[in-house]
Amino acid sequence: MSTEESSRFVRIRVDILLEVHDEDAVTAAALRRLAEDDGVPDAERAHAEGAVRQDTAEALAYLVDPFDLVGEVDGVELQQASWSSERVAYDPDSPEWDLDGDDVDEDGDPDDESDGEEGGTG
């Protein structure tokens, strides 16, 4: 595949951390969405309802859908998506949760486009 062909495809990675204040409300919203979804076969619906009732993270995974994020974006077609949810321990002061940490390339250098020579007055 040439660079020209592959450049049409863009991968967007999103990491979202949610704080759940009302698990019952989240579960109810997911169950409503399931009830309104005519495309879900009965056997799959029963399984999904059980998972949603047992785990708020599953309920959120059912409610947050990447297709909804880009479905109305002109000029793009979603080719593939995957997502998951899990309960996590969150410490906002931990370096593990530093969102800017992704701005470092594989060599550990800041991932900026400049090599230090461009933009100089030199």
Question: Is residue 87 domain-resident?
Answer: yes
Per residue in 11-49, is it b (16+ CB within 10 Å) or e — as a string? Answer: eeeeeeeeeeeeeeebbebbbebbeeeeebeeeeeeebb
Question: Is residue 32 domain-resident?
Answer: yes
pLDDT per residue as tens digits for the range 15-44: 888 999 999 999 999 999 999 999 889 899
Question: Is residue 54 domain-resident?
Answer: yes
Residue 110 pLDDT level (bands cut at 50, 70, 90): very low
The count of domains in the chain is 1
Question: Is residue 109 domain-resident?
Answer: no
pLDDT per residue as tens digits for the range 48-58: 999 999 999 99
pLDDT per residue as tens digits for the range 56-97: 999 998 898 888 888 889 999 989 888 888 888 888 888 887
Question: Is residue 97 domain-resident?
Answer: no
Structural domain for 43, as ranges: 3-92
Question: Is residue 102 domain-resident?
Answer: no
Instruction: Give the pLDDT confidence score for residue 113 in this predicted structure.
Output: 41
| Higher-pLDDT residue of 81, 121 | 81
Question: Is residue 106 domain-resident?
Answer: no
- Can you read off the two tokens belonging to residue 72? 């109305």
